[in-house]
Every structure is written in C-alpha cells, then in structure tokens.
Amino acid sequence: MIIRIWHGRTARSRADEYGEFLTTWAMQDLRGIPGNISATILRRDENDVSHFLTISSWESEDAVREFAGGDLLKARYYPDDRDFLLEFEPQVQIYNMVAHAP
C-alpha cells in the first residue's frame, strides 16, 4: 500500500472555508479514483496560519498516477487553491506502508 501526504498552509481567517472546500471537492475527487483506499484531511492551527495535511492511501503506484499524473512526488493543485493557499509546495511525500492496525 502507498501513502501519499500533501501539506498546505492557509491564513487562519480562511481555514474554515478552505476546510469546507477540501471536504466537499478534494475528498470527492480523491475517493473517485480507482485504487484509492482512503483519505483523511487534518488541520492544525498555529497563530495566524492553518496547516492542512491530506493523507491518502492507495493500492499501488499506478493508482496514485491516475490521480496525480506520472510523477508520484509532484503535488497536484485545484484551481480554487489559488484563492486560499499561502504557497504551493512542489512535492508531496510518498511512503510504503509497513504495518497498519485498524
């Protein structure tokens, strides 16, 4: 199993709105890709900035490519992200799952 972790930062004043966008649009998109097993969105507020992590699990690297394209490490952004994000990190983190306890 492949784990893909994306990080983004937004102004805390827009974090609720961005969280709603991620919940309704990004989550639906992720879950619609064959081979996606699960997706989780986390938020951490820090002073006037909010951090978001999207952690998705995938059956294979090929399944990740269906979502993200040929480069597994390249971050994928939605057009609406321009309205929220403070910067656009170029890469995500990819891990192979070693163990899992439900």
User: Would you tell me how many other CB atoms lie within 10 Å of the CB of residue 18?
Assistant: 23
| Amino acid of residue 13 | S
d(Cα 3, Cα 61) in Å, to the nearest integer? Answer: 10
Residue-wise pLDDT for 21-73, tens only, equals 999 998 998 889 999 999 999 999 999 999 999 999 999 999 999 888 889 99
Domains and CATH numbers, the chain: 2-96 (3.30.70.100)
For the full predicted model, state whether its pTM sits above 0.85: yes
